Structure 1
Amino acid sequence: MARTTKKTKESKQSNRRYIIWFWTLFGGGVLVAILIFLLAGWGVFGEMPSFEELENPETNLATEIFSSDGETLGKYYSENRTPIKYEDLPEHLVQALISTEDERFYKHPGIDAKGTTRAAFYLGTKGGGSTITQQLAKQLFTSNVASNNVERLFQKVKEWVISTRLERQYTKEEIITMYFNKYDFVYQAVGIRSASKIYFDKEPRDLKIEESAVLVGMLKNSALYNPMRRPELVLGRRNQVLEQMNRNGFVSEQEMDSLKKLEMNIKFTPQGHDEGLATYFRVYLQNFMNQWIKENPKPDGTEYNIFRDGLKIYTSIDSKMQKYAEDAVTKHIANLQTELNRQNKNNKTAPFRDIDESERENIISVGMKRSVRWKQMKADGKSEEEIRASFEKPAQMEIFSWKGNIDTTMTPRDSILYYKSFLQSGMMSMEPQTGEVKAWVGGINFKHFKYEHVKQGKRQVGSTFKPFVYATAIDQLKFSPCDTMPRSRFTIEAGKHGNMKDWSPANSPPDYSGMLTLKQALANSVNSITARLIDKTGPGPVIDLIGKLGIDTENIPAVPSIALGTPDISLFEMVSAYSTFANQGVYIKPVIVNRIEDKNGTVLYQNVPETRDVLSKEAAYVTINLLEGVTQGGSGTRLRGTWATNNEFYKSAITGYPYDLKNPIAGKTGTTQNQSDGWFMGMVPNLVTGVWVGAEDRAVHFPGIRYGQGATMALPIWGMYMKSVYADPDLNVSTEEFERPQNLSIEINCSNYNSRSNSDNSVPDEIDF
């Protein structure tokens, strides 16, 4: 009995020791855990966010560019993230997220004990334990990948600590919003708004349930579950999300079954700097912003960063008009290029003409020295001999073609020749009353051709310069469109107006007979009559006028030959100058930015129009009347349906005829020597549009005037563009007459003028030098 009692006492003592040890170990574990959490909170295991950082977690926000009609044209970013508010998230997107990533999201304080225990017990095979808040914490503050299990444990502790802090600092809705705004869906789609636009080309609020399920499914691993890489895998993952939504009561089983049968219908819309609308415009806008940033620092004296500060730039560009402009350029230049290639088949110096072999080699050499390859190898210390040799070695490359990019093998030297062969185009459209630029096409493909042909490029303008001579004569000498002059040869002797030798321009076609009204002379681009006019005004007043019209005159000599368009002028300058005629003689500086806001919506910049009076209303209107003659009885007549329908050539795919435009149009074609440049400037009362077409090198051109004149190279783009613009009633582009000023003292009705008026309105076959 005594022995039994003794054993019982020993057993109780042993149990007591086990219990003491258990609670000691448990208490010690708790204390250690608390200590670990405290140490993590104090930053011992790595830097932790401060209260201020939790209040304003640092993110790189893209600067967004808006069109005047509210569409996103593009972004500047280091990360393509544009934040979105919770109220702009569709309910089914949030439901899909919670169902898939964190079913007890609204019940836990940032750490889900049940989920964490399950993940630990099953080693993650039945789902991870990370809550949405923990995932956000990891993205915001613990992005460095742990290299071993110990580091991963400490990182996990940091995530837990940060998660609890985030839960105290933010509402559940704010945490969801931050999570969606932060996640990287790859393909430069950072945040749900960018992802929605890139993968489905729509705003998040417009997503369908099955589309939301695709994006939420990508949250598991956006590189692995990516519809552009593994669509079948993504489809299966999407259906898992739908099953989770059904399990959590957000969709019925019948809805789930129907949704699982649907195709994903991915509409991949990249938002890289080389893609999207108005690519060339966005580059020019970036230069504008860089200058604005230098002149307008933040309140603290630092500079804004367009790649990180989330600015909002509201531009003048109309997205519809921009698309119509780009479509017109693409359609016409692709057809025109086919014809140029056909005509170059038997050209021994192709793609160049009218040059010898040494000149051809010089063009190639200049192209080499301007290339990125040359500059990089030069910077690496390579000799010129080594660099030139590298241009002769075949390499794999992707090259541009109008039928799509081509993967091929080609020497860099041959690629220079290949790219030199392409025709380029510039196009700009502007409201003359406001100065707002509505469309800007700087080239045919920004990815492959970076040079911009609206503002950066300057080319000879040909006969589109002549209206400036006529306007000077009207303004100074009160000429009427009905005044007549002889078409005969005219010579300005050496020394009279600063010209070094006698100047006697030839007409094309070579017709020097009879008398013409000024309206007929401008319509048919008669060089000898333009020479007579600049002889009367002198070149100086013409240069003074174009300077007031916004054209840089620094390198334009005061000689009579400028009358035929020898100066190099940008399309940007030409459109703004012509707009003055349509704006009743008032020049308005072109506007590309209406407003700039910071990420909070505070207005940082508001455009104030810059204007100046240049011409009287009368002189501007009479010039417009002269330019209307170009589309009534000159090279612009091909914009009218009847004339074009009767001409088989102008009904071809090259020109896109007929346009059948009936409304008043003022305009002017232009062609430079050897058909190197083709121009058309066209105006209706509330829209002025200019088009230039040519190749990078002037030695690349059509051999003859039939295809090489401005009426064939450039005018069709204007016609196709305006046809699309007029078909869109939302744009409200005018079909009315140009406004006539009251008390017009210059007679424009030639039937009321005098017998000197000449009624010959025939259209020559070849015109416009």
Structure 2
Amino acid sequence: MAKTKIKQNKSSQDFSKYIRWFWMLFSGAILAVILVFLSASWGWLGEMPDHTQLENLKSNLATEIISSDGETIGNFYYNDNRTPVIYDDLSPHLVNALIATEDERFHKHAGIDARGTLRAFVFLGAKGGASTITQQLAKLFFTKKASGSIFKRVFQKTKEWVIATRLERQYTKEEIMTQYFNKYDFGNNGDGIKSASRIYFNKEPIDLEIKEAAMLVGMFVNSALYNPRRNPVGVKNRRNLVLYQMHRNGYITEAVKDSLQKTELDLDYTPQSHRDGIATYFRGYLSGFMKDWIKKNPKPDGTKWSLYNDGLKIYTTIDSRMQKYAEDAVQKHMPRLQAEFFHQNTPDRNPTAPFLDLTNGAIDTLLMRSMRQSERRRHMKYDLKKSDKEIEASFYKPTQMTVFEWKDGKPSERDTIMKPIDSIRYYKTFLRTGMMSMNPQTGHVKAWVGGMNYRHFQYDMVKQGKRQIGSTFKPLVYAAAIDQLHKSPCDEYPDTPYCIEANKHGNPEEWCPKNSNLDYGGNRTLKNALANSVNTVTARLIDEVGPQSVVDLATKLGIESEVLPVPAIALGVSEISVYEMVGAYSTFANKGVYTKPVMVTSIEDKNGTILYQFTPETNDVLSDETAYVTVKLMEGVTQSGSGARLRTKGADAYRADYREVVTGYPYEFTNPIAGKTGTTQNQSDGWFMGMVPNLVTGVWVGGEERSVHFKNITYGQGAAMALPIWGLYMKSCYADETLNISKDEFEKPTDLSILVDCSKVKDKTATDDDEDETPGDLDFN
């Protein structure tokens, strides 16, 4: 009995010892965990964010370019193409998909999901991880992926837990989720949900549908692996898993899940690099504008704004709809015109193609000049420190490259092997274009197309490029005559040869311009003379008013390019940009008031503080009467002159190889249109300036070199090269009734004293014949 009792006491003592050891170990483990958490909190396991950093979660934010109709038309970014959104900008499907897939108890925990953590511990992660959305946000902002021993990974996870609990105290659930969407990199320059939704689906985040939201949320697991462009099958499978999770958590029905899982990804891939997307040439101009603004406008603390990281918002005057219509018009007309140019410049038809009127020696000189000005040479000389001999030799070695081409009437690229010197000649075969559209009353530029393809033709032909303007300068001469001499569109002038003698108006020798068709005789009204670009009548007018007065008027109309005070300017020998010409013509539509073109209305920082707001710059140049009479003169161009094809029904007749049949145009405009075509000597430049009361648009088309041009006037005149782009653009603008493009008459001054209705003049010998503009707009003989 005693022995039994002794054994029981001993057994009890041994068990008590185990109990004590258990509690000691358990308490030690708890203390160790607490110590680890405290160590992490105190920064002993690595640097931790302080209170200020947690209050200001900082990402590199791209500068956002916003159109006048509220669309994002591009971003300026260096590494991160990130534009933040707020919670209300997120589609509910995005929110539901993220919670269902990444953190089912998101709204129930305080940063750490205890159940998920225990499950991950017991099953060693086989049944899912334990990271909450808040922990993943902490990882994105403050920690890096752990590598090495298990202890480093444990310490890493501990830091995430500590930061997650702090974030939960600092932010609402909605703010945490929004930050996560804004921070994540979805690949292909899709930094943040706004960029990603625009790049993959060409939509704003709020507009994403269920399957689109599911695809993007599926990429959170690994956007490099689940890249929809490289791994569409894997991405579809991952998307379908997200849809399953959404059904499992009650966000969608089984029928919806089954239906959506059968669909394709249906991407609308819209790249957002600096050379892709909408309004690329305008964005190129805007980059220079912003760099100048940043130099002159430091931050309040004296440091410089970053165009790429500070999240600025630039509000522009560009209308995304009109910009698209303008780009579509260019891309519809130019390949057809180019096809005809190629047809006329085969080696059999033109051994020096694409050049005309040049010897082989002159062509070699031209190509060498272009070689010396090329980006390839600059890179080799200044970046690679190559010698001139090495550089020149490299231009004659076949090189693999990607070149531009029109394919099936659309811009495309082709991989090829070509000598760089041959690629220079190849690119000179392409006709270029520049187009700008502006509201004359506000000065707001609504569309800006500096070329056909910014990736391959980066020189902007709206503001950078300046070309001879031909007969589009004549309205300035007529306006000077109306202003100074009170001329009427019904006044008649003899259509006979005319010379301005030597030494008059600073002209060193006698100047005798010829009419294009060498046809003279009878009288012409000024309206008829301008409509048919009669050179002799324009010469008489500039002789009467003097070249200097026309130069002074041009300056007041915003033309900053050099215009020499010589009689020949009447026929458009000056080189002026599309930007300047649109500003000048807008003065006529705006009752004689010049309004400087405006591209940027305001600039804000990421918090919405206004940093810049434009101030209109206007100048009273002409009386409203003079402006109106000049407009009525230009209406004659589209009624009975070289622009009359805008009024005809014609036929939308194009050959299968995209060569345009220029005998018919399906425009049928019936509303008042004022305008002027322009064609320079040898058909090197084709212009059309067109106006309605609230929109002025200018178009130029030509080769990079003046020796690249059509051989005859059929295709080489402004009415064939440039006018079709204006017509296609305006058809689209009028079809979009939300734009409210005017079809009304130009407003008539109340005190009009100049006769503009020539039907009231008896015995008018000149008729407003429908004659196309023909060569000789500029004749220097």
Pick the TM interval, shorter chain.
Answer: over 0.9
Matching of residue 452 in structure 1 with residue 452 in structure 2: no
Alignment TM-score, normalising by the size of structure 2: 0.94
Q: Equivalent of 2:550, from 539, 542, 555?
A: 542
Q: Aligned residue for 1:621?
A: 628
Identity across matched positions, percent: 61
Instruction: Report the CA distance shift for 1:617/1:168 in structure 2 as closer, same or farther (over 3 A).
Output: same
Q: In structure 2, what is the Cα distance between the partners aligned to 1:647 and 1:148? A: 73
Cα distance per residue 1:679-737 (max 9 Å; x no partner): 00011111111000011111211111111111111011111111121222222111121
Matching of residue 400 in structure 1 with residue 408 in structure 2: no
Given residue 378 of structure 1, which amino acid in structure 2 is its aligned partner? K
Query: Any idea what SS the aligned residue of 2:452 has?
Result: coil
Instruction: Report the CA distance shift for 1:242/1:80 in structure 2 as closer, same or farther (over 3 A).
Output: same
Instruction: Report the CA distance shift for 1:709/1:545 in structure 2 as closer, same or farther (over 3 A).
Output: same
Q: In structure 1, what is the Cα distance between the partners aligned to 2:306 and 2:63? A: 9
Alignment TM-score, normalising by the size of structure 1: 0.95
Instruction: Give the C-alpha shift of residue 200 in structure 1.
Output: 1.9
Q: In structure 2, what is the Cα distance between the partners aligned to 1:567 and 1:92? A: 59
Instruction: Report the CA distance shift for 1:648/1:490 in structure 2 as closer, same or farther (over 3 A).
Output: farther
Q: Aligned residue for 2:473?
A: 465
Instruction: Report the CA distance shift for 1:192/1:619 in structure 2 as closer, same or farther (over 3 A).
Output: same
Instruction: Report the CA distance shift for 1:44/1:695 in structure 2 as closer, same or farther (over 3 A).
Output: farther
Q: Equivalent of 1:525, from 533, 552, 558?
A: 533
Q: Aligned residue for 1:128?
A: 129
Instruction: Report the CA distance shift for 1:147/1:540 in structure 2 as closer, same or farther (over 3 A).
Output: farther
Q: Aligned residue for 2:387?
A: 383
Matching of residue 228 in structure 1 with residue 229 in structure 2: yes
Q: Aligned residue for 2:671?
A: 663
Matching of residue 330 in structure 1 with residue 331 in structure 2: yes
Given residue 353 of structure 1, which amino acid in structure 2 is its aligned partner? L
Query: Any idea what SS the aligned residue of 1:405 has?
Result: strand
Instruction: Report the CA distance shift for 1:648/1:216 in structure 2 as closer, same or farther (over 3 A).
Output: closer
Q: In structure 2, what is the Cα distance between the partners aligned to 1:259 and 1:646? A: 42
Q: In structure 2, what is the Cα distance between the partners aligned to 1:402 and 1:645? A: 24
Instruction: Give the C-alpha shift of residue 386 in structure 1.
Output: 0.8
Query: Any idea what SS the aligned residue of 2:406 has?
Result: coil
Structure 2 gaps of 5+ residues are: none
Q: In structure 2, what is the Cα distance between the partners aligned to 1:24 and 1:628? A: 99
Cα distance per residue 1:177-210 (max 9 Å; x no partner): 1111111111111222222222222222222222
Map 1:425-574 to 2 at 5 A: 425-553=433-561, 555-574=562-581
Q: In structure 2, what is the Cα distance between the partners aligned to 1:60 and 1:201? A: 22
Q: In structure 1, what is the Cα distance between the partners aligned to 2:245 and 2:731? A: 51
Matching of residue 94 in structure 1 with residue 102 in structure 2: no
Given residue 55 of structure 2, which amino acid in structure 1 is its aligned partner? E
Query: Any idea what SS the aligned residue of 2:434 has?
Result: strand
Matching of residue 348 in structure 1 with residue 351 in structure 2: yes
Aligned pair count? Answer: 767
Q: Aligned residue for 1:36?
A: 36
Q: In structure 2, what is the Cα distance between the partners aligned to 1:606 and 1:118? A: 57
Query: Any idea what SS the aligned residue of 1:688 has?
Result: strand
Given residue 614 of structure 2, which amino acid in structure 1 is its aligned partner? N
Q: Aligned residue for 2:64?
A: 64
Cα distance per residue 1:570-606 (max 9 Å; x no partner): 1000000000011110101111122322222233333
Instruction: Give the C-alpha shift of residue 764 in structure 1.
Output: 4.7
Cα distance per residue 1:420-449 (max 9 Å; x no partner): 111111111111111111111110001111
Given residue 737 of structure 2, which amino acid in structure 1 is its aligned partner? P
Q: Aligned residue for 1:357?
A: 360
Q: In structure 2, what is the Cα distance between the partners aligned to 1:311 and 1:573? A: 29
Matched-pair contact (CA < 8 Å) for 1:656–1:720: no
Q: Aligned residue for 2:186?
A: 185
Instruction: Report the CA distance shift for 1:718/1:480 in structure 2 as closer, same or farther (over 3 A).
Output: same
Matching of residue 374 in structure 1 with residue 377 in structure 2: yes
Instruction: Give the C-alpha shift of residue 360 in structure 1.
Output: 1.1
Instruction: Give the C-alpha shift of residue 339 in structure 1.
Output: 0.5
Instruction: Give the C-alpha shift of residue 621 in structure 1.
Output: 1.1
More deviation, 248-257/544-553: 248-257
Matched-pair contact (CA < 8 Å) for 1:706–1:712: yes
Query: Any idea what SS the aligned residue of 1:219 has?
Result: helix
Query: Any idea what SS the aligned residue of 2:229 has?
Result: coil
Matched-pair contact (CA < 8 Å) for 2:319–2:446: yes
Matched-pair contact (CA < 8 Å) for 2:602–2:610: yes
Q: In structure 1, what is the Cα distance between the partners aligned to 2:499 and 2:605? A: 61
Q: Equivalent of 1:421, from 429, 432, 453?
A: 429
Q: In structure 1, what is the Cα distance between the partners aligned to 2:377 and 2:10? A: 91
Instruction: Report the CA distance shift for 1:372/1:2 in structure 2 as closer, same or farther (over 3 A).
Output: farther
Given residue 191 of structure 1, which amino acid in structure 2 is its aligned partner? G
Instruction: Give the C-alpha shift of residue 496 in structure 1.
Output: 1.2
Instruction: Report the CA distance shift for 1:281/1:158 in structure 2 as closer, same or farther (over 3 A).
Output: same
Matching of residue 272 in structure 1 with residue 276 in structure 2: no
Q: Aligned residue for 2:420?
A: 412
Matched-pair contact (CA < 8 Å) for 2:445–2:599: yes
Matched-pair contact (CA < 8 Å) for 1:580–1:586: yes
Q: In structure 1, what is the Cα distance between the partners aligned to 2:533 and 2:256? A: 70
Query: Any idea what SS the aligned residue of 1:385 has?
Result: helix
Q: In structure 2, what is the Cα distance between the partners aligned to 1:373 and 1:5? A: 100
Q: In structure 2, what is the Cα distance between the partners aligned to 1:173 and 1:207? A: 18
Instruction: Report the CA distance shift for 1:57/1:509 in structure 2 as closer, same or farther (over 3 A).
Output: same
Instruction: Report the CA distance shift for 1:130/1:375 in structure 2 as closer, same or farther (over 3 A).
Output: same
Q: In structure 1, what is the Cα distance between the partners aligned to 2:245 and 2:571? A: 74
Cα distance per residue 1:370-411 (max 9 Å; x no partner): 222211211222111111111122222221111121122222
Q: Aligned residue for 1:688?
A: 696
Matched-pair contact (CA < 8 Å) for 2:642–2:770: no
Instruction: Give the C-alpha shift of residue 145 in structure 1.
Output: 5.4
Instruction: Report the CA distance shift for 1:651/1:360 in structure 2 as closer, same or farther (over 3 A).
Output: closer
Matched-pair contact (CA < 8 Å) for 2:66–2:73: yes
Structure 1 gaps of 5+ residues are: none
Instruction: Give the C-alpha shift of residue 171 in structure 1.
Output: 1.7
Instruction: Give the C-alpha shift of residue 235 in structure 1.
Output: 1.7
Matching of residue 301 in structure 1 with residue 309 in structure 2: no
Q: Aligned residue for 2:82?
A: 81
Q: Aligned residue for 1:597?
A: 604
Instruction: Give the C-alpha shift of residue 7 in structure 1.
Output: 5.1
Cα distance per residue 1:617-666 (max 9 Å; x no partner): 11111111111111122111111116x56999999445761311111111
Query: Any idea what SS the aligned residue of 2:237 has?
Result: helix
Matched-pair contact (CA < 8 Å) for 1:509–1:764: no
Map 1:737-756 to 2 at 5 A: 737-753=745-761, 755=763
Cα distance per residue 1:93-143 (max 9 Å; x no partner): 222211111122222221223322332333322211211111100001113
Matching of residue 587 in structure 1 with residue 591 in structure 2: no
Q: In structure 2, what is the Cα distance between the partners aligned to 1:655 and 1:396? A: 41
Instruction: Report the CA distance shift for 1:654/1:113 in structure 2 as closer, same or farther (over 3 A).
Output: farther
Query: Any idea what SS the aligned residue of 1:367 has?
Result: helix
Q: Aligned residue for 1:22?
A: 22
Q: In structure 1, what is the Cα distance between the partners aligned to 2:45 and 2:315? A: 45
Instruction: Give the C-alpha shift of residue 455 in structure 1.
Output: 0.8
Q: Aligned residue for 1:700?
A: 708
Matched-pair contact (CA < 8 Å) for 2:371–2:377: yes
Matched-pair contact (CA < 8 Å) for 2:733–2:739: yes
Q: In structure 1, what is the Cα distance between the partners aligned to 2:213 and 2:600? A: 35
Instruction: Give the C-alpha shift of residue 57 in structure 1.
Output: 0.6
Q: In structure 2, what is the Cα distance between the partners aligned to 1:148 and 1:198? A: 39
Q: Aligned residue for 1:142?
A: 143
